[in-house]
């Protein structure tokens, strides 16, 4: 049964398309466009799942939400390709970054977005939120100074999970060439043929 990805433009679900391209797994993309004013997903996505958020994936008769959980499921289903490295330290780093991407790194990015939308009202909060994000970026820069990928020497699904928060950080969170290891890593991710193929199937994506 072909995997179906309910995909919203410019969103976290780009990572699922990328993983499926890396796995060489056939899939069908059902596209949803953000409202240009509110940037919210269209109501039609609520017909797929009550939260109306992307990604939603249909696989083997199951409907899954939550990027990290979807990634873990698809990795396990493929016999752990791009899954945890065999060494204990690599396996711990893999699990850590798989969860950290949405659990710890996205909240300050979301806060920055909200503060930005508030305009003048949000301005006093901006430095505090930016400092929160900078703590993450400084730590991550140090991590990638010691190894090529987030879980060690091999490219894994943890890298795919980390792509969205780091892309968003570059677009609106001040990530630039002053953190060269993160930029080097982002450029390497974007150069992967499967990443490029996923851009074609996903349509408009502002962060590549």
Q: Which residues of this chain interact with ligand GSH, rule CB under 6 A?
A: 8, 11-12, 40-41, 52-55, 66-67, 102
| Nearest approach, Cβ of residue 195 and ligand GSH (Å) | 17
Q: Which run of H or of E encompasses 62?
A: strand 62-65
Nearer to ligand GSH, 41 or 189 (CB): 41
Look-up of token digits 């710890």: 104
Alpha-carbon distance of 155 to 170, in angstroms, equals 21
How far does CA 72 lie from the centroid of its chain?
13
- Cβ contact 198:192 at 8 Å: no
Residue 30 CB, shortest distance to ligand GSH, in Å, is: 13
Which residue reads 């080097």 in tokens? 184
CB of 11 or CB of 169, closer to ligand GSH: 11
Rounded to the nearest whole angstrom, what is the least distance from the CB of residue 87 to ligand GSH in the complex?
27
Local structure of residue 64 (DSSP, 8 states): E
Distance between CA atoms of residues 164 and 148, nearest Å: 18
Strands 62-65 and 27-32: unpaired
User: Looking at beta carbons only, is 8 or 144 nearer to ligand GSH?
Assistant: 8
Taking the least distance from each CB to ligand GSH, the nearer of 52 and 174 is: 52
- The nearest distance, CB 86 to ligand GSH, in angstroms, is 27
Percentage helix, strand, coil, to 5, in the chain?
A: 60, 10, 30
Asked if 27 contacts 69 with a C-beta cutoff of 8 angstroms, the reply is: no
Nearer to ligand GSH (CB atom), residue 154 or residue 159: 159
Tell me the closest approach of the beta carbon of residue 165 to ligand GSH, in angstroms: 10
Nearer to ligand GSH, 90 or 163 (CB): 163
Give the nearest distance from C-beta 37 to ligand GSH in angstroms.
Answer: 12
């Amino acid at each position: 049964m072909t995997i179906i990805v309910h995909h919203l433009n410019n969103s976290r679900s780009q990572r699922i398309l990328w993983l499926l391209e890396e796995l060489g797994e056939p899939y069908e993309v059902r596209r949803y466009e953000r409202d240009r004013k509110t940037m919210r997903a269209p109501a039609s996505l609520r017909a797929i799942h009550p939260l109306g958020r992307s990604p939603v994936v249909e696989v083997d008769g199951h409907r899954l939400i939550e990027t990290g959980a979807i990634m873990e499921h698809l990795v396990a289903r493929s016999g752990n390709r791009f899954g945890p490295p065999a060494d204990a330290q690599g396996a711990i780093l893999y699990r850590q970054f798989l969860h950290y991407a949405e659990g710890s790194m996205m909240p300050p990015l979301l806060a920055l977005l909200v503060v930005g939308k508030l305009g003048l009202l949000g301005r006093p909060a901006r430095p505090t939120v930016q400092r929160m994000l900078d703590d993450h970026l400084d730590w991550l820069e140090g991590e990638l100074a010691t190894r090529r990928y987030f879980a060690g020497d091999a490219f894994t699904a943890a890298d795919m999970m980390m792509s969205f928060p780091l892309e968003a950080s570059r677009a609106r969170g001040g990530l630039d060439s002053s953190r060269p290891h993160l930029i080097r890593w982002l450029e390497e991710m974007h150069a992967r043929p499967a990443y490029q193929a996923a851009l074609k199937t996903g349509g408009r994506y502002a962060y590549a």
